[in-house]
């Protein structure tokens, strides 16, 4: 018996101690759980605060960006609306015959250069129509020789270009883009790309040769529409080997080729996005192809009209700003509707100087 008592006492002591320990342990666990929850809450609050701060920062940057006028890096100057062709979907029609005096046009180009312009593209109408290409030649020379612009280019239907023009002005020109929508002359006639007996496709071949001979980068622009959407142009384009083949989806512009006051009716030329995708898919092996859907095209060009007003296409029609000759570039460009992000997204900034293109003529 005398052995049993101390053991029983020790057992009692131990169980009392265990009871104490389990109380302490459970208090500790609740304390730790409480602390963890408090830390988590603090962490969530702080990360919420951080994301609120970042969102406010982005908003502020966006607002600042919106208030800042875009830089007119690449400008399309449609100095004339007159043309010798009658394309049914034309979206810069002959609404006026006005052309600025040469010296005023040069003044405007200087203002654009001072505002950051690096590339000028002359377009129309048909830019070679005015003064048999002399007016255009003078502007091209001025932009390269006096303004030292990295890139000077022209978009033309090609029908009025003579070799003598190349002899006088090719050295000042980086890129010549010729519009060609079909290699089937009948389709060109249906579209309205043609004048009398002139063969648009044969002319294209001649211009390609001159571009090679006189060291001008050669480009082709095609508008995909109801009449050419099924065509396969792979072989002809590869044979002509342009530096770029711009493929546009036929675009509807109120007041130009749609609506009551329009001079053209584009409705019967329009194609769906799926049809456009189908054309692109058929030509996907052509490496120089640069596609432009309606979506990409609409607000991603800085368009200057014959009065040197920026044309805003945001509302589906061309709404003019004031002329840069009257209010300056910074003020006028605010109303251009230009989407700088889309311009970059569609690859608007590319190697555009013939010196950098390193062509194997
Ligand atoms: S060639 Fe160009 S400017 Fe002339 S009618 Fe055709 S699309 Fe219009």
Average pLDDT estimate for 201-205: 92
pLDDT at 145: 98
Asked if residue 360 is part of any domain, the answer here is no
Is residue 248 assigned to a domain? yes
Predicted local confidence at residue 28, as pLDDT: 63
Q: Atom 8 in ligand 1: which residue has the minimum CA distance?
A: 90
Are residues 229 and 82 located together in one domain of the fold?
yes
Within-domain flag for 122: yes
pLDDT category of residue 355 using cuts at 50, 70 and 90: confident
93 within a domain of the structure (yes/no): yes
DSSP string, 216-250: -EEEEEEEE-TTTTT---HHHHHHH--SEEEEEEP
Q: Same domain, yes or no, for 286 and 218?
A: yes
Same domain, 101 and 20: no
* Pocket of ligand 1 from Cβ distances under 6 Å: 83, 85-87, 90, 92, 124-126, 157, 179
Question: For residues 336 and 162, what is the distance between their CA atoms, to the nearest angstrom?
Answer: 35
The Å distance, Cα 92 to ligand 1 centre, comes to 7
CB neighbour list of residue 124: distance below 8 Å, 6 or more residues apart: 78, 79, 80, 81, 82, 83, 92, 155, 156
pLDDT in tens, 30-71: 666 666 765 565 565 666 767 677 667 656 655 555 568 899
Q: Is 211 a catalytic residue?
A: no
The pLDDT tens digits for 60-111 are: 655 555 568 899 999 999 999 999 999 999 988 888 999 999 999 999 999 9
Q: How far is the CA of 261 from the centre of ligand 1 (A)?
A: 18
Residues 116 and 246 in one domain: yes
Residues 261 and 304 in one domain: yes
> In this structure, are 213 and 327 located in the same domain?
yes
Range of the domain at 51: 2-67
pLDDT band at 2 (very low <50, low <70, confident <90, very high): very low
| SS3 (DSSP) at 258 | strand
Our count of domains for the chain comes to 2
Question: How many whole angstroms separate alpha carbon 133 and alpha carbon 136?
Answer: 5
pLDDT of residue 1: 41
pLDDT above 70: residue 24: no
Q: Same domain, yes or no, for 229 and 180?
A: yes
The confidence band for 252, taking pLDDT boundaries of 50, 70 and 90, is: confident
pLDDT of residue 360: 74
Residue 87 known to be catalytic: yes
- In the residue annotation, 23 being an active-site residue is answered as no
Q: What is the mean pLDDT of residues 284-309?
A: 91
pLDDT at 5: 53
Query: Residue 4: its pLDDT value, please?
Result: 46
Same domain, 150 and 173: yes
Q: For residue 155, which atom of ligand 1 is closest to its CA?
A: 2
Average model confidence (pLDDT) across the chain: 86
In this predicted model, what pLDDT tens digit does every residue of 174-187 receive, in sequence order? Answer: 999 999 999 999 99
The residue from 83, 143, 250, 313 that is catalytic is 83
Closest of 75, 123, 97 to residue 263, by C-alpha: 97
Report the percentage of the chain scoring pLDDT > 90.
Answer: 58
Write down which residue in 30, 48, 67 finishes a domain: 67
CATH of the domain at 169: 3.20.20.70
Helical spans, DSSP H, in the chain: 4-67, 102-114, 134-141, 163-169, 185-191, 200-213, 234-240, 273-282, 294-297, 324-327, 329-333, 340-345, 354-357
Are 126 and 197 in the same domain? yes
Q: What pLDDT sits at residue 38?
A: 59
Domain end, chosen from 67, 91, 121, is at 67
Residue 359 in any domain: the answer is no
**pLDDT tens profile 337-349:** 888 888 888 888 8
Q: Is residue 90 part of a domain?
A: yes
What does the pLDDT read at residue 174?
A: 97
Identify the pLDDT of residue 80.
97
Residues 57 and 88 in one domain: no
Output the pLDDT for position 35: 64
- Mark whether 43 and 164 lie in a shared domain: no
Residue 54 lies in a domain: yes
Do 160 and 52 lie in one domain? The reply is: no
The model's pLDDT over 302-315, given as tens digits with 9 standing for 90+, comes to: 999 999 999 998 88
Q: Which residue among the candidates 87, 143, 211, 250 is catalytic per the annotation?
A: 87
pLDDT for the residue numbered 278:
97
Q: Which of 67, 86, 117 is the last residue of a domain?
A: 67
């Amino acid at each position: 018996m005398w052995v049993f008592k101390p053991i029983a006492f020790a057992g009692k002591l131990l169980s009392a101690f265990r009871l104490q320990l389990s109380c302490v342990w459970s208090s500790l666990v609740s304390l730790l759980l409480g602390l963890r929850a408090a830390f988590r809450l603090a962490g969530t609050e702080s990360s919420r605060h951080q994301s609120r701060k970042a969102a406010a920062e982005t908003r502020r940057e966006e607002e600042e960006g919106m208030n800042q006028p875009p830089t007119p890096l690449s400008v399309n100057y449609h100095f004339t609306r007159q043309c010798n062709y009658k394309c049914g979907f034309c979206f810069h029609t002959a609404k006026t015959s006005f052309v600025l005096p040469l010296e005023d046009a040069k003044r405007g180009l200087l203002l654009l250069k001072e505002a950051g312009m690096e590339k000028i593209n002359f377009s129309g109408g048909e830019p070679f129509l005015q003064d048999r290409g002399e007016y255009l030649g003078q502007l091209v020379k001025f932009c390269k020789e006096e303004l030292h612009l990295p890139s000077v280019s022209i978009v033309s239907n090609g029908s009025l270009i003579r070799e003598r023009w190349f002899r006088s002005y090719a050295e000042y020109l980086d890129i010549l883009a010729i519009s060609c929508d079909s290699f089937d002359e009948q389709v060109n006639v249906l579209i309205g790309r043609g004048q009398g007996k002139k063969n648009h496709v044969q002319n294209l071949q001649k211009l390609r040769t001159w571009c090679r001979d006189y060291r001008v980068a050669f480009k082709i622009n095609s508008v995909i529409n109801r009449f050419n959407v099924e065509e396969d142009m792979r072989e002809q384009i590869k044979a002509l080997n342009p530096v770029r083949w711009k493929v546009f989806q036929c675009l509807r512009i109120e007041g130009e080729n749609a609506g009551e006051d329009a001079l053209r009716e584009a409705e019967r030329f329009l194609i769906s996005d799926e049809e456009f995708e189908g054309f692109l898919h058929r030509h996907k092996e052509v490496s120089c192809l640069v596609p432009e859907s309606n979506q990409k095209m609409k607000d991603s060009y800085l368009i200057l009209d014959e009065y040197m007003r920026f044309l805003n296409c945001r509302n589906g029609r061309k709404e003019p700003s004031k002329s840069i000759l009257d209010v300056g570039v910074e003020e006028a460009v605010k109303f251009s509707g230009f989407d700088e992000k889309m311009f970059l997204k569609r690859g608007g900034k590319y190697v555009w100087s013939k010196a950098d293109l390193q062509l194997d003529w």
